[in-house]
């Protein structure tokens, strides 16, 4: 996985190939080994300029919250940048754009990547986030909970309809994905007839690369523009009408399209992955499953622990240093990129006792620093996941409905046969085949 790369720091910095087999097979174990050897390493991906990765909890937390790190490389003041030693280019490269171009993103779609809320800083970030934040507050999510419960119950009870002749059903395709897709589409106001297409397009982004990505991106951009025009002419309930009203005023047209894509994709992909990952984790840890079945009140803490233990995001968006600074004893030059590795931070023994042990009661007690819910699965700082409250509540409701409806729910294959999806930047399972067992009677 690693080779020595002396770059003028002491001790020598390791170089990590993020496409290495051991990282793709088990990133939690691979990053654990790296974390104990060095807090920072240099990472390489084909087609992408090298960048730093931070793997220890405190360093990741710093990268996510220190204002000297920004998401948008264009925020970095490039005056006199070319005078820095050993700098091959007059300005730092946009690593996320390089990654997506390497995956097959058409060059003309890069403007939507750069215009999104994930790539914004300061006032622009506050402006874009502020437009949609009211729909994702704790109060808004609490009001949405009855709808979440009805949907989760409906999708759970419909699972037998999708079982194969052997009684096996894929929980990812027929439960973990439909629930959050429906929720985010209803929040936005995307017509029901359009939703299967949006889910299909989003799946190309979730896979990370491969044939069809360019067509999917072009189709999503065109569909977002059409939805804005439709809601401008025919306002209806949902965030789309609010965004249509802001288009050309508070938002420029590219920002509007980008924000819609951000909300649709981020609004269901990671939540669906959490539900799939979490179900597999509980079914392969029967003692933890028994605790949650015996006390459903543990579900909120269990969701936090599952986000820590098998969360969907391996690494966060790269951050760029706006000045020369020191991180973990290493000099980070102005303009250099640092990717926070959430999978490393959330398993750091400096913060979590026995971090490799799944413990659904863990998040209900303070960590070693005295924090509760201190995992970084939803990020940290100004860019903490906009939909964190909604995603957490969706997962709580989903696990509750699933476990309540199927008291004998079990994996249909051995744990070693549950395959991971192909995107190396995310920890998600391609399918979770289960045997349902008899349904419990519906409440009431």
Average pLDDT over residues 54-65: 96
Average pLDDT over residues 208-222: 81
pLDDT at 368: 55
Average pLDDT over residues 14-39: 90
pLDDT at 46 over 70: yes
Between 3 and 117, the more confident residue is: 117
* Per-residue tokens: 76: 């970095």
Distance CA 344, CA 376 (A): 10
pLDDT at 216: 87
Average pLDDT over residues 249-274: 92
Burial class from Cβ neighbours inside 10 Å (0-12, 13-18, 19+) for residue 108 reads exposed
Tell me the percentage of the chain whose pLDDT exceeds 70.
Answer: 91
Strands (E), 232-388: 319-321, 325-327, 330-332, 337-340
Average pLDDT over residues 405-419: 94
Average pLDDT over the chain, rounded to an integer = 89
Check: CB of residue 51 under 8 Å from CB of residue 379: no
Instruction: Give me the helix-helix angle, 253-266 and 195-207, nearest 10°.
Output: 80
Confidence bin at 214 (pLDDT 50/70/90): confident
The full set of domains in the chain, from first to last, is 2-435 (1.10.630.10)
Q: Is 277 in a helix, a strand, or coil?
A: helix
Average pLDDT over residues 43-48: 90
What are the φ and ψ backbone dihedral angles of 283, each rounded to 5 degrees?
Answer: -70, -20
pLDDT at 266: 86
* Per-residue tokens: 425: 């930047």
Confidence bin at 90 (pLDDT 50/70/90): low
Average pLDDT over residues 203-223: 80
**Lowest mean pLDDT segment, chosen from 83-92, 118-127, 396-405:** 83-92
Average pLDDT over residues 334-358: 95
Average pLDDT over residues 134-160: 97
Average pLDDT over residues 138-151: 97
pLDDT at 3: 40
Check: CB of residue 214 under 8 Å from CB of residue 236: no
Check: CB of residue 340 under 8 Å from CB of residue 28: no
pLDDT at 413 over 60: yes
Q: Is 424 in a helix, a strand, or coil?
A: coil
The model's pTM: 0.91
Average pLDDT over residues 51-69: 96
Q: Kindly list the distances between the CA atom of residue 345 and the CA atoms of 59, 149, 337, in Å, as whole numbers in the listed order.
A: 8, 32, 18
CA Rg value for the chain? 22
For the segment 351-385, what is each residue's pLDDT rounded down to a tens digit? 999 999 999 998 765 555 555 558 999 999 999 99
Check: CB of residue 310 under 8 Å from CB of residue 427: yes
Check: CB of residue 109 under 8 Å from CB of residue 58: no
Q: Kindly list the distances between the CA atom of residue 203 and the CA atoms of 103, 211, 271, in Å, as whole numbers in the listed order.
A: 14, 12, 13
Q: Is 247 in a helix, a strand, or coil?
A: strand
49 CA to centre of own chain:
23
For the segment 270-293, what is each residue's pLDDT rounded down to a tens digit? 999 999 999 999 999 999 999 999
Between 413 and 100, the more confident residue is: 413
pLDDT at 425: 80
Average pLDDT over residues 74-94: 63
* Per-residue tokens: 142: 């609490």
Average pLDDT over residues 296-303: 96
Check: CB of residue 418 under 8 Å from CB of residue 432: yes
Average pLDDT over residues 199-210: 76
pLDDT at 4: 39
pLDDT at 296: 95
- The residue among 200, 163, 160 whose CA lies nearest residue 178 is 200
Helix residue ranges, H only, 346-444 = 388-405
45 CA to centre of own chain:
20
pLDDT at 339: 96
pLDDT at 86 over 80: no
pLDDT at 81: 47
pLDDT at 228 over 90: yes
Confidence bin at 421 (pLDDT 50/70/90): confident
Check: CB of residue 38 under 8 Å from CB of residue 11: yes
* Per-residue tokens: 184: 């985010």
Q: In what order do the strands lie in the sheet with 319-321?
A: 2-5, 13-17, 40-45, 48-54, 337-340, 319-321, 69-70
Strands (E), 308-375: 319-321, 325-327, 330-332, 337-340
For the segment 93-134, what is each residue's pLDDT rounded down to a tens digit? 889 888 888 888 888 888 888 888 999 999 999 999 999 999
């Amino acid at each position: 996985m690693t080779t020595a790369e002396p770059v003028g720091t002491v001790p020598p910095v390791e170089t990590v190939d993020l496409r290495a087999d051991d990282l793709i097979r088990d990133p939690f174990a691979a990053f654990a080994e790296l974390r104990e050897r060095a807090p920072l390493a240099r990472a390489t991906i084909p087609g992408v300029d090298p960048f730093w990765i931070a793997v220890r909890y405190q360093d990741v937390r710093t990268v996510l919250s220190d204002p000297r790190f920004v998401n948008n490389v264009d925020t970095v003041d490039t005056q006199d940048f070319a005078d820095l030693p050993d700098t091959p280019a007059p300005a730092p490269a946009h690593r996320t754009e390089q990654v997506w171009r390497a995956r097959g993103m058409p060059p003309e779609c890069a403007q939507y990547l750069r215009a999104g809320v994930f790539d914004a800083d300061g006032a622009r970030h506050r402006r874009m986030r502020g437009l949609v934040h009211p729909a994702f507050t704790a109060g808004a999510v609490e009001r949405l909970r009855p709808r979440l419960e009805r949907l989760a119950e409906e999708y759970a009870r419909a699972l037998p309809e999708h079982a194969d002749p052997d009684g096996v059903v894929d929980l990812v395709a027929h439960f973990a994905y439909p629930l959050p897709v429906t929720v985010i589409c209803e929040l936005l106001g995307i017509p029901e007839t359009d939703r299967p297409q949006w889910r299909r397009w989003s799946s190309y982004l979730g896979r990370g690369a491969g044939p069809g990505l360019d067509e999917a991106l072009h189709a999503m951009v065109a569909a977002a523009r059409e939805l804005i025009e439709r809601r401008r002419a025919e306002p209806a309930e949902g965030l789309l009408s609010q965004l249509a009203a802001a288009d050309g005023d508070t938002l420029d047209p590219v920002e509007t399209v980008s924000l819609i894509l951000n909300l649709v994709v981020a609004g269901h992909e990671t939540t669906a992955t959490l539900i799939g990952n979490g179900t597999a984790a509980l079914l392969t840890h029967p003692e933890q499953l028994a605790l949650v079945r015996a006390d459903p009140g543990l579900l909120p803490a269990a969701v936090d622990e599952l986000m820590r233990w098998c969360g969907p995001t391996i690494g966060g968006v790269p951050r760029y240093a706006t000045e020369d600074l020191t991180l973990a004893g290493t000099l980070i030059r102005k303009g250099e990129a640092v990717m926070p590795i959430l999978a490393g931070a959330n398993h750091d023994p400096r913060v979590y006792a026995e971090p490799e042990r799944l413990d659904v009661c863990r998040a209900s007690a303070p960590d070693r620093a005295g924090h509760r819910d201190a995992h970084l699965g939803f990020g940290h700082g100004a860019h903490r996941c906009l939909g964190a409250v909604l995603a957490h509540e969706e997962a709580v409701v989903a696990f509750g409905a699933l476990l309540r409806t199927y008291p004998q729910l079990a994996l249909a294959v051995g744990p070693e046969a549950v395959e991971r999806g192909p995107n190396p930047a995310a920890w998600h399972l391609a399918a979770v085949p289960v045997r349902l067992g008899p349904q419990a009677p519906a409440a009431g």
